[in-house]
Amino acid sequence: MTGILTASSVGKSYGTGTARMAIIDGLELSIAKGEFVSLVGPSGCGKTTLLMCLSGLLTPSVGEVRFKGQTVSAPPIGLSVVFQDYSRSLLPWKTNLDNVLFGMRRLSMAAADKKARAAEIIAAVGLSGFENHHPWQVSGGMQQRVAIARGIASQSELLLLDEPLAAVDAQTRADMQDLLLDLAKRFNQTCVLVTHDVEEAVYMADRVLVLGPRPTRVVREIVVDLPKPRDQIATREAPAFLHARHEVMALIRGMRAGQNLS
Ligand SMILES: Nc1ncnc2c1ncn2[C@@H]1O[C@H](COP(=O)(O)OP(=O)(O)O)[C@@H](O)[C@H]1O
Ligand SMILES: [Mg+2]
């Protein structure tokens, strides 16, 4: 398989012996450079576990993840993760600017260049003027923007996002969706977005990969044939959007019905 990120026959289980629980089994995926791919699946199916395996924060029990052709065994440079829980992923004793600079600590770049890049990215996420605030002095949506800025600043090519917008209010969420799409384009980020929100998955993506129940694998690929830039009103009314949403929702509802019976 080619692609900036690939997973081949990936399996992951937690525990041993009778306590062993299989979370992922026989998972295959390939993400092309420049793509925006959503991973959607029922709650508890193993989405976060999968993202951890893709990022090198966890090692698969079997199979292999490759980033730019290299086997991933620890988080590689060029790959960033944005977590759902921004309040725990930012360092509260550092300012927003220092949090972004922290993301660049592994880069060999002059301090002045780092500062210039951090400032550019902070401006791009709409946080100019808040560089010297601490994360706890700004809103939840703004904290998540700091976390996204930190991810991009680390010379990221691939952003892995684990339900990054789940904790922000609905209006902020729509704005953040558009901001993420804009940032992905502007900073040439390949993006893998994990979400349990079917509409968000379709709205954001070039391709939606639907994950099955635990132990999870990719059960369906849906190509989202909608023009870009996306628009919160027009895109969500387009027949292709409704079609894709229907297909994903029917699959996920079917899985939940199947689980309830067992
Ligand atoms: N470190 C761990 N040890 C044991 N079980 C875990 C661990 N992390 C997650 N799990 C279990 O694995 C399953 C999948 O979890 P997770 O990957 O967080 O799913 P999702 O993100 O799709 O909700 C859940 O049943 C969860 O309880
Ligand atoms: Mg999760």
Structurally, what CATH architecture does the domain formed by 1-78+159-172+179-262 represent?
A: 3-Layer(aba) Sandwich (3.40)
Q: Is it the case that residue 178 has pLDDT exceeding 60?
A: yes
Output the residue whose Cα is nearest ligand 1's atom 24: 44
Question: Which ligand number lies closest to the CA of residue 216?
Answer: 1
Name the residue of 48, 193, 209 to mutate for ligand 1: max ligand atoms within 8 A of Cβ. 48
Alpha carbon of 46 to ligand 1 centroid (Å): 6
Average per-residue pLDDT for the chain: 94
Question: Which ligand number lies closest to the CA of residue 19?
Answer: 1
Alpha carbon of 74 to ligand 2 centroid (Å): 20
pLDDT tens per residue, range 208-223: 999 999 999 999 999 9
* Averaged pLDDT for residues 107-132: 95
* Averaged pLDDT for residues 5-11: 98
| pLDDT at 61 (0 to 100) | 97
Q: Is it the case that residue 225 has pLDDT exceeding 50?
A: yes
Listed by start position, the domains of the chain span 1-78+159-172+179-262, 88-156
pLDDT band per the 50, 70, 90 thresholds, residue 88: confident
Residues 6+ apart with CB under 8 A from 55: 72, 75, 79, 81, 160
Question: Which ligand number lies closest to the CA of residue 49?
Answer: 1
Residue 204 in contact with residue 230, Cβ under 8 Å?
yes
Atom nearest to 52 CA in ligand 1: 17
Residue 155 in contact with residue 77, Cβ under 8 Å?
yes
Largest interatomic CA distance in the chain: 60
Name the residue of 16, 20, 23, 50 to mutate for ligand 1: max ligand atoms within 8 A of Cβ. 23
| pLDDT at 1 (0 to 100) | 55
| pLDDT at 262 (0 to 100) | 44
The string of DSSP letters for 23-45 reads EEEEEEEEE-TT-EEEEE--TTS
User: Which run of H or of E encompasses 210?
Assistant: strand 207-211
Nearest alpha-carbon partner for 131 in 141, 82, 142: 142
**Which residues have CB under 6 Å of ligand 1?**
14, 23, 43-49
Q: What is the pTM of this model?
A: 0.94
Alpha carbon of 212 to ligand 2 centroid (Å): 14
